[in-house]
Amino acid sequence: MATKVKGVGVGVNIVEKSVTYVSNTVIQLLFRIAHKRGLDPSYIQGNLDVIEKGLRTWLSEQKLRALLLQVFVADKDDALENWETMFEYYADPKEEVRKPPVQEIEKACEGLAKLPPGATYRIFASLDPDATEVDGWVPGTPKSLVAALEKVFEDWGFGQVGAKVRYQGGNWGDA
């Protein structure tokens, strides 16, 4: 899962690369989760620039605590699923490039029961209070979730930033 990186610290901007790598992989997972859960990708595609700008800004500031993809049906009070990417920041940069557990997450998605008609999703960022405002992001509150099941996947990252995905929901197909 891990690839040793050569040449760390020799004329390269580790902070920039770390932020870009984690930002790219988070967006990769958003697409893959939406695909495997049968959700329309147009929300991510239509807001790609905004999502990327938010990720890059807040990861650079180390003010992004978590990014939540919440699945829900509009007229229901409770959400159906939370796919939350939680971030960690390291004072001592990690020299390994750790890949996101894409296959494990996709496999887990396939093991879940099919979402009901009308299921959609939104993305929420959990920030430190003094994080910079980014155009396109507006205040929002996720729906509550009664989670019968939870699974945390292997962490990944590079440099100063690490991340891991936590699934919370109630319809684990084979559980």
> Which residues are near other proteins by CB under 8 A?
3, 5-8, 10, 12, 17, 20-21, 24, 27-28, 31-32, 35, 41, 45, 48, 52, 56, 97, 99, 102
CB of 109 to other proteins, least distance (A): 12
Q: Which is nearer to other proteins, 76 or 90 (CB)?
A: 90
Which residue number, 99 or 164, has a Cβ lying nearer to other proteins? 99
| CB closer to other proteins, 18 vs 168 | 18
- Minimum distance from residue 60 beta carbon to other proteins (Å): 12
Query: What DSSP state is assigned to residue 113?
Result: P
Q: How far is the CB of 96 from other proteins (least distance, A)?
A: 11
The DSSP secondary-structure symbol of 8 reads: T
Phi then psi for 72, rounded to 5 degrees?
A: -155, 170
Find out whether 106 and 17 touch, Cβ atoms under 8 Å.
Answer: no
What are the b/e assignments for 129-155, b being 16+ CB within 10 Å? eebeebeebeeeeebebeeeeeeebee
By the 8 A CB rule, do 22 and 56 touch?
no
Q: How far is the CB of 75 from other proteins (least distance, A)?
A: 26
- 110 or 150: whose CB is closer to other proteins? 110
Q: Which is nearer to other proteins, 48 or 86 (CB)?
A: 48
Chain centroid to CA 150: how far? 15
* Least distance (Å) between residue 58 CB and other proteins: 15
Phi, psi of 85 (to 5 degrees): -95, 120
Extract the tokens encoding 37: 């859960």
